[in-house]
Amino acid sequence: MAPVNRKIIEVKLRQGTHQTTEISPFLFNEYLGGYGIGVRLLMEKMNPAADALGPENILGFAPGYLTGTGFIGADRYMVFGKSPSTGGWGDANSGGYFGRRMKETGVDVILLSEISNTPVYLYLDESSVQLLDAASLWGMDCYETDDELKRIHGKDCEVACIGPAGENLSMIAGISTDKGRMAARSGLGAVMGSKRVKAIVVKGKKKTTVASPELFREKRQKMAKGLKNNPFAQGLSGRGTAMFYETCVNVGDAPIKNWAGTKADIKAPEAITEEVMETYRSKKYNCSSCVIGCGGHEKVESGPYKTATSVHKAEYESMALTGSNLLNDSAASLIKINDLCNRYGMDTIGCGGLCGYAIESFEKGFITGEHTAGLELTWGDTESIITLVEQIGRGEALGATLMKGFDHAISTFGEETADFAIAVRNEALPAHDPRWSAGLALTYYTDATPARHTQGSTTFPVGGYQQPEMTNDNLSGRAKYHIDNVNLTHALSCLGLCTFCLSIVDYRDVVETLRLADGNDWSEESFNKTGSRISVMRHLFNLKAGIHFKSFKFPERVLGNPPLAEGPTSNVKIDLDLLVNEYLDEVGYDHETLQPSELLLEELNISQFS
């Protein structure tokens, strides 16, 4: 007995039809849930070279393999498909309650193909699948859509939807759940918009069963107790990710002034601290089965950045990309900007990165008042930053260009602006700086979904993994540890674990729990190999799409070219070629074509996909 129903719903949107099929248990054993099973299915069912916004692209939704079992923090659902932003494999994920509710419908994977003639939403419960008219929802923001669908289908349903950004095919469009949680990266909200699917509504109560319920419960409780006593988990529980902000600014990890500045550029560092953010906290929040509860709601009661209601709090990534990155010292505005992004259905990392690019391009004369409808863009000018975020969300004025991503903006405003685009393959860098920890550069560059700090690295190793201390002074000799962390992170993510849980709980305990969940003879080695299979399959999708990372540039500024003159990361330079060459040797990819070796493909049992 495994924690999945092995049921897949394939919806053909143009025809308005669907069919239910069963997936072989073998595939779940080899790929787990989420984007693991997703990449295996899409490699079989679509041409990776297809237009990401065309009918051939398939957009999939799948909860983690352990989602619904109550296993600590395994609440993620994952969305996947070809990314219109990178032109390669795309996936994104979110916690909250949607993943569990989807599992409770008895369905493990939803696949949407073709393009609907009119706006629709998909309704799914334990006994029905319906495509329903969404004409009246089209144009609504994510909160309005969520409210309206819960009014129609009841408060016990969960909604994943797009806002205006997804409808406008913005490259930073995400998919919203829980009115403020965003599967944000890879631009998959635009894929949903291109298919004219406004939302997916799930409603069900089917229990997820496991192979050894008593032993599973005991193990889960023991791990939950350990998690509650863990100091990092306790910090997250009390303060959330806002607790990282000051430290990351101080050590040179957070982006400052579009990654070209240092703390000395921040006029009022005391204006944004976890204590200040705490004054806005209105409610604590946790994902469905989490014992940490790092989330919360915030409310700005008065002033220019007043929020209409209590809203999901701004997380560290959002705070840094729209705070220090833009020299924005207004704590209340971070909540407002986060709220705007959540309403429009946008990635806050992408939005903050594009704002940094725009301000620097304006400062240096490549973008002018003609492009901005008269808006003066200046570092730290909160008013103009908020207006710019609204322009991007609505696709108006300068936002009409920026929402199409960095590559489009560079082709519009000139190749000279490429230096200000701190992005890999069109995706903005998250708020962790390789000059602070070089391992991140390798992850940002080589993962199939670039520029993500959550895809496994020696900087953020998985819980329980032993590796030597690594500093930027010696970059050599880290490839094996990098690959292990990538593999384990992919496998843990496809179980449904969030980044924090997978970095705190010991992965060997998770493997033991997995044995109790599905009755299979998992070992640390087979678990690592499963993560490797998922990682290499995503890479193969990119090769078949006609891209590989060596044909893309990494932003030189973040490698220390030119180096920062002051601050904790002054004069740091990262030799990315050295990191990449050692990685390619260790992982078994050809240095020119990046084709995996036959031996690796055979070991992973995926030779048929090369």
Q: Which of 230, 262, 282, 286 binds ligand SF4 (CB under 6 A)?
A: 286
**What is the C-alpha separation between 491 and 537, in angstroms, rounded?**
13
Q: Which residues of 245-255 are buried (b: 16+ CB within 10 A; e: fewer)?
A: bbebbeebbbb
Least distance in angstroms from the C-beta of 261 to ligand SF4: 30
> Which region, judged by CB under 6 A, interacts with ligand SF4, from 370-378, 439-447, 498-506, 527-535?
498-506
Q: Is 287 in the site for ligand SF4 (CB under 6 A)?
A: yes
Q: Which of 41, 92, 254, 292 binds ligand SF4 (CB under 6 A)?
A: 292
Q: Is 296 in the site for ligand SF4 (CB under 6 A)?
A: no
Least distance in angstroms from the C-beta of 232 to ligand SF4: 10
Structural contact between residues 451 and 422, judged by C-beta atoms closer than 8 angstroms: no
- Work out the burial of residue 279: count CB atoms within 10 Å of its CB; fewer than 13 is exposed, 13-18 middle, 19 or more buried: exposed
Q: Is 73 in the site for ligand SF4 (CB under 6 A)?
A: yes
Q: Which of 293, 464, 568, 588 binds ligand SF4 (CB under 6 A)?
A: 293
Position 86, amino acid:
T
> Which region, judged by CB under 6 A, interacts with ligand SF4, from 61-69, 450-458, 495-503, 516-524?
495-503
Least distance in angstroms from the C-beta of 224 to ligand SF4: 11
Q: Which residues of 17-49 are buried (b: 16+ CB within 10 A; e: fewer)?
A: ebeeeebeeebbebbbbbbbbbbbbbbeebebe
Contacts of ligand SF4 in 409-428 (CB under 6 A): none
CA 190 to centroid of chain Cα atoms? 15
Least distance in angstroms from the C-beta of 176 to ligand SF4: 16
> Which region, judged by CB under 6 A, interacts with ligand SF4, from 284-292, 349-357, 432-440, 464-472?
284-292
Q: Is 197 in the site for ligand SF4 (CB under 6 A)?
A: no
**What is the C-alpha separation between 373 and 358, in angstroms, rounded?**
13
Q: Is 223 in the site for ligand SF4 (CB under 6 A)?
A: no
Eight-class DSSP state of 77: E
Q: Kindly tell me the sign of the dihedral angle through the C-alpha atoms of 95, 98, 103, 104.
A: positive
Q: Is 314 in the site for ligand SF4 (CB under 6 A)?
A: no
Q: 3-class secondary structure for 43-69?
A: HHHCCCCCCCCCCCCCEEEEECCCCCC
Integer-rounded Cα Rg, in Å, for the chain is 22
Q: Which of 331, 451, 501, 510 binds ligand SF4 (CB under 6 A)?
A: 501
Least distance in angstroms from the C-beta of 293 to ligand SF4: 5
Q: Is 191 in the site for ligand SF4 (CB under 6 A)?
A: no
Counted residue by residue, the chain has a size of 610
Q: Is 235 or 380 the residue whose CB approaches ligand SF4 more closely?
A: 235
Structural contact between residues 341 and 347, judged by C-beta atoms closer than 8 angstroms: yes
β-bridge mates for residue 464, sequence order: none
Contacts of ligand SF4 in 89-108 (CB under 6 A): 95
Q: Is 290 in the site for ligand SF4 (CB under 6 A)?
A: yes
Quickly tell me which residue has 């496998």 as its tokens. Answer: 491
Structural contact between residues 240 and 337, judged by C-beta atoms closer than 8 angstroms: no
Q: Which of 280, 305, 500, 527 binds ligand SF4 (CB under 6 A)?
A: 500
- Enumerate binding residues for ligand SF4 (CB under 6 A): 73, 75, 95, 236, 286-287, 290, 292-295, 498, 500-501
